[in-house]
Amino acid sequence: MVLSFVGLFGVLSPDIVNGQEFASLECQADGTTGINLSWSLVNPADQPAFFEITNSNQPQTAVVPGNVTSWTIPGDCTQDVICIIAADAAGNPIQTLCCGSCGETVQGLGCIASPGSPGLVSLEWSNSDAYTGITISVNGTDVVSLMGNMTSYQITDLNLGCNTVCVTPQIGATILASVCCEVWGGFPPCEPTISCTESSNSTVDITWGTPAWTCNGSSYGCINFQQVIITVSSFFGEFTYLPAEFSSSFSLGGFDLDSYAYTICLQVVGSADEYCCTVGCILCPVPTNPPVEYRRGDPTDDGTVDLGDVIKTLGYLFQNASVECIRSADVNDDGGVDVSDVINLLSYLFLDGPEPAPPFSECGVDETEDELDCEESTSCI
């Protein structure tokens, strides 16, 4: 494309001698390091004495005869302003016209990322001139050189993040202005962040979010924080909390951070993934479950000691019957359950024999260390 500028810098002399007046002036790159000029007059038969040609970035001037209508001078027509002055025989200027920016760069660059293919972007543009070549660059690095008539290209390996993609046309040795766009490459990381801050020995401030990326005016992310669930796990059990919708922080109290460790987990509603942090006394020994209180001689766990407990113990010994608190069947507290416990219990019930070992008269814990277990005793709760 050739740009014409008529009267860009105005007329140096308002008087038109002998009716002379430029009809046009055109500047065009010659494909190397020069500028091709061509011009015409309103009345070609009435020529000026000579033309003086100046370049805004060159100290030299050229003087050509008045019958010449084209000339080539050194320069870069994308940066230089070229002026031609028509003069009469006495050297008086008749009229001056100037031109510049002879090459026009590409127009309408579009960068279209493919959501399903990370790193893939399609480029499209329109050419405004007859280019000899086009260069595609990403983040300042040239990635490919194309023929000058190309108007599209596809990049398949964009880096993760916001990339600056530029299309730079060229006419000969003259490099025209680059046209650029920003486009996201790759899938944004989806893992949110969670932070747990101990504001006191009993209070934890919880904040969460996801890194924010902005590229070409668009925000990128893949976590919807409309509603989250917070779960606190510790020795005391698991407790669930539901912060307000669209919130990004939550404060919880009731902790004993000097004595226990707590795991706080964030889960986005609709997602199975959890993101956790740990607070409290991380190196403190984990407390064991407190011993279960029970009544010895009451394997039926009904709160009384009777013949039913004898039958329950026999069922355990000979029919694999289950007993929730097997310690209660160890009547003589010898660390095992066998026929001797049945005999001792029958003796107590019917022969006025000794009562079972403690705890018997009331619920309590067994002070004797042995391998027998007591998972539950509902009658002693």
Q: How far apart are CA 163 and CA 320, in angstroms?
A: 71
Q: Is 289 part of a structural domain of the chain?
A: no
Helix H or strand E encompassing 308: helix 307-319
Same-domain status, 373 and 323: yes
Same-domain status, 241 and 179: no
Helix H or strand E encompassing 169: strand 161-171
Instruction: Indicate the length of the chain as a whole number.
Output: 381
Same-domain status, 180 and 210: no
Binned at pLDDT 50, 70 and 90, residue 146 comes out as very high
Determine the average pLDDT of the residues in 134-156.
93
pLDDT of residue 338: 94
Determine the average pLDDT of the residues in 45-70.
84
Determine the average pLDDT of the residues in 356-376.
87
Same-domain status, 169 and 86: no
Give yes or no for a contact between 323 and 308, defined as CB atoms under 8 angstroms apart: no
The pTM score is: 0.39
Q: Is 75 part of a structural domain of the chain?
A: yes
Binned at pLDDT 50, 70 and 90, residue 214 comes out as confident
Q: Is 298 part of a structural domain of the chain?
A: no
Identify the domain containing residue 168 by its residue range: 107-185
Same-domain status, 111 and 48: no
Q: How many CB atoms are closer than 10 A to CB 45?
A: 5
pLDDT of residue 8: 31
Same-domain status, 121 and 90: no
Given a cut of 90, whether residue 236 has pLDDT beyond it is no
Task: Return the higher-pLDDT residue of 227 and 2.
Answer: 227
Q: How far apart are CA 306 and CA 240, in angstroms?
A: 44
- The mean of the pLDDT values for the chain is 81
Same-domain status, 11 and 87: yes
pLDDT of residue 212: 65
Which DSSP string do the residues of 122-182 spell out, in sequence order?
EEEEE-SS--SEEEEEETTEEEEEEETT--EEEE--PPSEEEEEEEEEEETTEE---EEEE
* Virtual torsion, Cα 299, 330, 377, 259, nearest 10 deg: -170
Which CATH number covers residue 78?
2.60.40.10
Domains of the chain: total = 4
Q: How far apart are CA 24 and CA 291, in angstroms?
A: 105
Mind listing the pLDDT tens digit for each residue in 269-325? 777 788 899 998 877 766 666 788 999 999 999 999 999 999 999 999 999 898 989
Q: Report which of 81, 171, 69, 70 is spatially closest to residue 129, judged by C-alpha positions.
A: 171
Residue where one domain finishes, among candidates 230, 264, 280: 280
Q: Is 291 part of a structural domain of the chain?
A: no
For β-strands 249-252 and 3-4, DSSP reports them as unpaired
Q: Which SS3 state, helix, strand or coil, does residue 47 take?
A: coil
Highest mean pLDDT among 30-44, 191-205, 210-224: 191-205
Highest mean pLDDT among 71-85, 186-200, 219-233, 341-355: 341-355
Beta-ladder partners of 241: 230
Same-domain status, 343 and 361: yes
Q: Is 264 part of a structural domain of the chain?
A: yes
Residue where one domain finishes, among candidates 185, 214, 246: 185
Binned at pLDDT 50, 70 and 90, residue 234 comes out as confident
Residue where one domain finishes, among candidates 100, 116, 143: 100
Same-domain status, 169 and 199: no
Determine the average pLDDT of the residues in 218-224.
60
Q: Which of 50-54, 159-163, 208-212, 349-353 has the lowest mean pLDDT?
A: 208-212
Binned at pLDDT 50, 70 and 90, residue 187 comes out as low
Given a cut of 80, whether residue 216 has pLDDT beyond it is no
Given a cut of 50, whether residue 207 has pLDDT beyond it is yes
Same-domain status, 313 and 366: yes
Q: Is 292 part of a structural domain of the chain?
A: no
Determine the average pLDDT of the residues in 131-143.
92
Task: Return the higher-pLDDT residue of 362 and 36.
Answer: 362
Same-domain status, 7 and 84: yes
Q: Is 319 part of a structural domain of the chain?
A: yes
Token representation of residue 101: 């920016």
Same-domain status, 59 and 91: yes
Q: Is 321 part of a structural domain of the chain?
A: yes
Mind listing the pLDDT tens digit for each residue in 86-134? 888 888 888 887 776 566 778 889 888 776 677 788 999 998 777 889 9
Q: How far apart are CA 68 and CA 78, in angstroms?
A: 24
Mind listing the pLDDT tens digit for each residue in 147-186? 989 999 999 888 877 889 999 988 776 677 788 988 887 7
Give yes or no for a contact between 366 and 320, defined as CB atoms under 8 angstroms apart: no
- Tell whether omega for the bond before 356 is within 30 degrees of 0, i.e. cis: no
